[in-house]
Structure 1
Amino acid sequence: MAIQLHVLSEDINGFVAASLVDSESGLALATEGMGIDLDIASAGNTEILLAKRNTMQNLGIDDDVEDILITLSHQYHLIRPLKNNPALFLYVVLDQNKANLAMARHMLKNFENNLDFS
């Protein structure tokens, strides 16, 4: 499985970094970008996604997480589980001053729809 995350860096304004993460192990399967330790970020964001899924289960919410947005002072961090492979998620860091959040979410959805796991 060769995932080309560089497409995200080319298409999303304000792109800083991204990883495709295995939510069962917390390991980054593919990375792109600099300025952030994507191995640590991937493992840490796995815990966030698992905590949200666990909370939803405890609340009896029978639904899927479309994405999780974490807003920092200068960055957006997006966690987007893949619909066609819920064990994987995309983690994307955006520069808040350069990014259009709505457009970035749209681009991530398009990127996900074009992923081929064969």
Structure 2
Amino acid sequence: MTDVDNTLRATMTSIEGAIGAALVDYNSGMALGTVDGPGGLDLSVAAAGNTDVVRAKMRTMEMLGLKDGIEDILITLTNQYHLIRPLTSRSGKGLFLYLALDKGRANLAMARHQLARIEADLEV
């Protein structure tokens, strides 16, 4: 198991094309940790904005009566992928991992696989 800072650093170095990563509390919208890479994303703004995405999806699922959990949410931009992965462990309840990727350098399938593995090793 790894702590937040080490996890985010490992995310940036182990996932090809990573340009920013954060651990976010979606109840408050605050980033609990961030690691910026090339691309200069304002991860505090990204954390707050993506909190709205997670909340909206959870509300929609509730209104639809879906009992499923969110594995991840993908937002595809012209030049970037943004992955949002809510944590499923009891200690991670209310948190999500956020990862921004350079679309030209990233392998999306591999990034999703690695982010799932990173989540499993994270100790909050």
TM-score normalised by length of structure 1: 0.95
Question: What letter matches 2:17 in structure 1?
Answer: G
Question: What letter matches 1:105 in structure 2?
Answer: R
Secondary structure of 1:73 counterpart: coil
Matched, 1:74 2:100: no
Measured on the aligned residues, the alpha-carbon RMSD in Å equals: 1.2
Q: What residue in structure 1 maps to residue 106 of structure 2?
A: 99
Q: Runs of 5+ in structure 1 lacking a partner?
A: none
Kindly provide the CA deviation profile for residues 6-58 of structure 1, in whole angstroms up to 9, marking residues without a partner as x.
10111000000010000100000000114111101100000000000000000
Matches within 5 A, 1:5-20: 5-20=8-23
Kindly provide the CA deviation profile for residues 52-111 of structure 1, in whole angstroms up to 9, marking residues without a partner as x.
000000010111110000000000000000011230000100000000000000110110
Matched, 1:55 2:48: no
Total equivalences in the alignment: 117
Matched, 1:39 2:44: yes
Secondary structure of 1:36 counterpart: coil
Match of 1:30 among 33, 50, 74: 33
Q: What residue in structure 1 maps to residue 122 of structure 2?
A: 115
Q: Runs of 5+ in structure 2 lacking a partner?
A: none
Q: Identify the structure with the greater helix proportion.
A: 2
The structural deviation recorded for 1:2 is 4.2
